[in-house]
Amino acid sequence: MSGTEDKNKNEYTGKKQWKKFELKKQTHYEDVTLKEVLLPEFRWKEIGLDLLAFVRNLFIANFIGLVIGGYCSLFGLLIIYVTKLRMEHEWLLYLLPFGGLAIVALYRWCGIKRSRGTNRILESISSGEIIPLRSTPLITVATALTHLFGGSAGREGAALQIGGSIGNWLGVQLKFEQKDITIMTMCGMSAAFAALFGTPLAATVFSMEVISIGIMHYSAIVPCAVASIVGAKLAQFLGLVPEHFPVEQFAKLDWKMGLGIVIFSILSALASVIFCLILQKAEILYQKYLINPYVRIFVGGVLVIGITLLLGTRDYNGAGIQVIERMVEGEGIWALGFLAKMVLTALTLGAGFKGGEIVPTIFVGAAFGCVIAPVLGISGSVGAAMGICALFCGVTNCPLTAIVLSFELFGYEGMPYYLLVAAISYRLSGYTSLYHGQKIMYSKSRPEYINRHPE
């Protein structure tokens, strides 16, 4: 048999199809149809089923984008409203401990003694755990109370929980297989992230990258992309403005500037490790010495009030988006401002208040960058943008998301800067993370399969 016939035979995996083709070849070649030459008969059914699944995923992704994008848009508007209310009435800060008591009571009333937050969403994707829908209104109300009374927390972490829980619930209600429920959960995370941040590209990549470090879940790329775009567009329609920070002119990237960026990235990786450790240790110490959750959250609220009064400013309460904008525009901040935000965020979330860690991470990155960068000959504005990229990457272990998020937040002009800081921060940030529910599949230093959880 010739080499060509061998190749043809290898393309036919079924014996019956090969015999049928060989019989026709012996009679008349013109009897062989183009369909049989190009594709075996048994693959047409497979292709048809794949197209049906593709169309179904498109429909579901649009639906999830509308539902979760709409919900998270209203959630974002709620956070903006309570933040404005807190800034107009500064005395609300003194009610933070009592707001904490309300949060604990609300969770206990709904039968949830301990909330695992975003970790539960990530773990459910790996384990197939079903997430109760009641966690959605709970995290919404609890996050709003935290922001209303001045707790140092973000909103995107809460949005990931909202999007993931709704996506998971919809998959269960539609009686999908577990693998499809996983994709719907990721789809919900993307829609929620995109709706609040206005960054659909980063939202798409983040959901595929954050679960298993070293492995991208490309099977979810189409539904996550569609849900992200729909969620972001709906949020804009409902009045949420996408986050965008103008950065000063980038200097020419020569060897001197490159050396400064490398040093900056190394220090940023260290800062991300410190932030993760402070968050972890605060939670451990709270649970060790304050076993009762009501006492724990009340004491946490009192500590946040005390440190806020010592700082003499409310810049470190809430998410701090306005402060981030000022830092990226080139306005300076207290040299230890990044550390103050780390501590206040750890005291808030460790005590049991609700919210997210992503915006505080962005705050810490901007504060660290605008202080450290000028020492290395880099402008404070560029340093703030680089710090955001580096800290986000270091605490989430998501370098691709950090890079594309920087493009969407600051523009493409600083691409070499973001590329360098994300790469170095990822490599040197160790195996710490904001999310214990992550799995780190491959080593950061060599192509070695390790399959471990963060430290």
| pLDDT at 169 exceeding the cut of 60 | yes
Above pLDDT 70, what percent of the chain? 87
Domain final residue, candidates 238, 268, 301: 238
| 323 and 223 within one domain | no
Domain final residue, candidates 211, 238, 265: 238
CATH number, residue 302: 1.10.3080.10
If you average pLDDT over every residue of the chain, what do you get? Answer: 86
| 216 and 280 within one domain | no
* Dihedral of alpha carbons 256, 257, 261, 267, sign: positive
Q: Domain count of the chain?
A: 2
Which has the higher per-residue pLDDT, 215 or 42?
215
| 140 and 73 within one domain | yes
Pairing of strands 212-213, 449-452: unpaired
Domain final residue, candidates 238, 264, 294: 238
Query: Would you state the pLDDT for residue 23?
Result: 47
Cα–Cα distances in Å, from 364 out to 186, 292, 322, 325, 388? Answer: 27, 30, 13, 13, 8
| pLDDT at 346 exceeding the cut of 60 | yes
Question: If DSSP codes are grouped into helix, strand and coil, which group holds residue 12?
Answer: coil
Evaluate whether residue 184 is within a structural domain: yes
| 157 and 293 within one domain | no
Query: Would you state the pLDDT for residue 12?
Result: 44
Q: What domain range is 125 assigned to? A: 46-238
| 218 and 275 within one domain | no
Query: Would you state the pLDDT for residue 242?
Result: 87
Name the one residue in this structure whose structure tokens are 């943008």: 385
End-to-end CA distance of the chain: 59
Query: Would you state the pLDDT for residue 39?
Result: 55
| 205 and 269 within one domain | no
| 299 and 218 within one domain | no
